[in-house]
Amino acid sequence: MICTPIAASTPDDLLAALPVAAAAADWLELRLDALHNLSVEAVLRALHHVLPRRPRPVVVTFRPREQGGFRDLSHADRLRFWHSALTTPAEAFDLETDLIAQLLPTYPPDHPVWARVVVSHHDFQATPADIHAFALAHFPPHAGTVKLAVKVNQPDDVCRLFDWLTGTPSATPSTWQKIPVGMGGLGVLTRILGPAYGARWTYSTGHDGRAVAPGQLTATELRETFRLSSLDRHTIVAGLLGCPVAHSLSKDLHNAAFAHLGLNWVYIPVEVSPDDLAPFLRDAIHPRTRRLPWTVGGYSVTLPHKVAILPYLDRLTATAARVGAVNTILVSGQELIGDNTDVAGAMRPLQQRFAVEGEPVAVLGAGGAAQAVVCGLVAAGAQVTVFARHPARAQDLGARFDVPIVPLDDFHGRRFVGLVNTTPVGMAGYAEGACPVPPERLEGLAWVYDLIYRPRHTALLQAASQQGIATLDGLPMLIAQAAEQLARWTGRDVPETILFAAAERALHSVRPAP
């Protein structure tokens, strides 16, 4: 189930937000601590006014700033609020652990209100080392639900959160429903897969699309893109490894394909830093060492891991070995196999538009995507020159494909028929609006191909169009390589029209910044 917070600053705004939040949510969290300028008594009056008008079950929250709330609240104010709020007919109440002892004289452990209480602990710095012991020490046995919201700093933290969610040590109260919330990039796994493994609900962004805590997704994304309500313990998990991943359309494409094919799969982008790559592969993906409870169907790999991942795989396909970079992980028995669908993905739309055999083509960049493009161009008979910001670092690429490596500043379009940009310069969230080469140096080119797809019309493509040069953006490549990945993971083909439609919906949707 999805719980959507409403953090409105006035009682009228709170009331107006109810139907908006209810559109995609199963529960609503009334963040009454967002009513900044009201006294405790005025906040209670607002609660009494809202409750008869609630369109969904509600959980009431009144959190102090030091525990992630929106306002400063004294301990006495919080107790005064809760002594009264707990008498209302709200379906649930979110209480911080430091209040429990003071409430027990009025609400003893056998009081029925505790069945409706969510006792929560928030740590915005770290995850407890021993979560089972921490929970037993901090959460009362008579609570109906316990929520642990913690900063996830490493893959091991995610593993321990799921171990706590799914494990039942003998000392754990049988009445507890649990809500593990991993805050941060790696914590997305708890937000999407938590309910499938027994979490009472997961939290979305606020009703206005703004994140109330780090790592939240919108309720619409959870329900429509990730199909949260259909996920269960038999769901096969695929995903994307990269840093960053927020810009990626891959989740929209792959999840739409799974829905079209009727497969119980989900695709989850996970922001994995270079330092976390090896432990994530070990703890979350590799079949011999995986600690997380689900079956892994495969992963996509993007910047900056396409080359760095090579030492951690059991073997490579012939294409991946030739390219020297991986964008696809296949799971076969007890092995992880590195594959590369970027070659086919990049070349298919390019060759559908432009002739490359025997033509001089410039490639900007020398990373994993460049290696795939150069591999495809050389195989197609193009005369390739690679332009790199740091030529010395690209010598392996030059030697692998017997192509010259030239400083980026030496690029001039009049020497080439085509240009392929494989750098992230101009990508949303990464130098957006910048051009990887001065626009005046495009003169003489017949075509420009930019692998970036968000935005589709990069500064490079705009500059080329203004000079009458034909252009090709990166969306067709994304579609083609995704279709190849899907076929290799599932053994099923999906019409590319399904993927294009999903991409267009995502590109034209307005997603609030977190």
| Element spanning 12, H or E | helix 11-22
Give the model's pLDDT for residue 42.
Answer: 97
| Element spanning 122, H or E | strand 117-123
Do residues 301 and 327 lie in contact, with contact meaning Cβ atoms separated by under 8 Å? yes
Sign of CA dihedral 287, 288, 293, 299: negative
CA dihedral 173, 179, 185, 189 (to 10 degrees): 90
Q: Which of 168-177, 198-207, 300-309 has the lowest mean pLDDT?
A: 168-177
pLDDT digits (tens, 9 = 90+) for 360-411: 999 999 988 899 999 999 999 999 999 999 999 999 999 999 999 999 999 9
368 is in an annotated binding site: yes
Q: Does residue 483 have a pLDDT over 50? A: yes
CA atoms of 376 and 441, how far apart (whole Å): 25
338 is in an annotated binding site: no
451 is in an annotated binding site: yes
3-state secondary structure of 328: strand
Do residues 394 and 388 lie in contact, with contact meaning Cβ atoms separated by under 8 Å? yes
CB-based burial label for 238 (10 Å; 0-12, 13-18, 19+):
buried
The answer to whether 238-339+479-509 and 352-472 have equal CATH topology is yes
CA atoms of 28 and 487, how far apart (whole Å): 39
21 is in an annotated binding site: no
How many other C-beta atoms can be found within 10 angstroms of the C-beta atom of residue 42?
A: 12
pLDDT confidence bin for 512, thresholds 50/70/90: very low
Number of residues written out for the chain: 514
481 is in an annotated binding site: yes
Give the model's pLDDT for residue 174.
Answer: 79
CA atoms of 37 and 10, how far apart (whole Å): 8
Q: Under CATH, what is the fold of the domain 352-472?
A: Rossmann fold (3.40.50)
Q: Does residue 90 have a pLDDT over 70? A: yes
Give the model's pLDDT for residue 148.
Answer: 98
pLDDT digits (tens, 9 = 90+) for 105-142: 999 999 999 999 999 999 999 999 999 999 999 999 99
| 167-182 mean pLDDT | 86
On whether the 2-224 domain is CATH 3.20.20.70, my answer is yes
Identify the residue whose tokens are 């009049």. Answer: 414
CA nearest to 413, candidates 405, 401, 404, 421? 421
433 is in an annotated binding site: no
Do residues 38 and 46 lie in contact, with contact meaning Cβ atoms separated by under 8 Å? yes
**Strands 360-364 and 405-407, sheet pairing:** unpaired
Give the model's pLDDT for residue 513.
Answer: 36
CA nearest to 247, candidates 484, 486, 453? 453
Give the model's pLDDT for residue 431.
Answer: 86
Identify the residue whose tokens are 């696809």. Answer: 328
Omega within 30 of 0 (cis) for the link into 455: yes
> What are the residues facing 147 on neighbouring strands?
120, 179
On whether the 238-339+479-509 domain is CATH 3.40.50.300, my answer is no
CA dihedral 244, 249, 251, 253 (to 10 degrees): -160
The answer for residues whose C-beta is within 8 angstroms of residue 277's C-beta and 6 or more apart is 241, 305, 308, 309, 312
Identify the residue whose tokens are 């949260």. Answer: 228
The tokens for 349 are: 């739309």
Do residues 376 and 433 lie in contact, with contact meaning Cβ atoms separated by under 8 Å? no
> What are the residues facing 269 on neighbouring strands?
240
CA atoms of 435 and 432, how far apart (whole Å): 9
298 is in an annotated binding site: no
> Residue 257's Cα: distance from chain center in Å?
18
Sign of CA dihedral 249, 255, 260, 263: positive
250 is in an annotated binding site: yes
Residue 306 annotated among the catalytic residues of the structure: yes
CA nearest to 195, candidates 181, 174, 210, 176? 181
pLDDT confidence bin for 475, thresholds 50/70/90: very high
Domain segments of the chain as ranges: 2-224, 238-339+479-509, 352-472
pLDDT digits (tens, 9 = 90+) for 407-428: 999 999 999 999 999 999 999 8
Give the model's pLDDT for residue 169.
Answer: 76
327 is in an annotated binding site: yes
300 is in an annotated binding site: no
pLDDT digits (tens, 9 = 90+) for 435-451: 999 999 999 999 999 99
Q: Which of 147, 151, 178, 306 is catalytic?
A: 306
